[in-house]
Amino acid sequence: MAAFNVPEKSDKTLLQSMEEQGIETHFHCRDGFCGACRTQLISGQVSYINEPLAYVREGDILPCVCIASSDIEIEH
């Protein structure tokens, strides 16, 4: 489980923020097509820059195409 603070008014994707803060995650396309970065959102909120084309189960997010809109906690 990982928890981290989101920089105020960040326009970076969650994946970019995770990388900057040393949180390792799997990814491939960075465009929401493959679903390799699928991550469980435990708490907090995100908004999608682009609607993902990969299947996303309820409670999961694709960090490559979303922006955290609050501090979040994830399981990956």
pLDDT tens profile 25-44: 889 999 999 999 999 999 99
Q: Bridge partners of 66? A: 48
47 has pLDDT over 70: yes
| 62-75 per-position pLDDT tens digit | 999 999 888 888 98
3 has pLDDT over 90: no
Cβ(37)–Cβ(58) below 8 Å: no
Q: 13: Cβ–Cβ under 8 A, 6 or more apart, which residues?
A: 30, 49, 63, 64, 65, 66, 67
6 has pLDDT over 70: no
Q: What is the pTM of this model?
A: 0.86
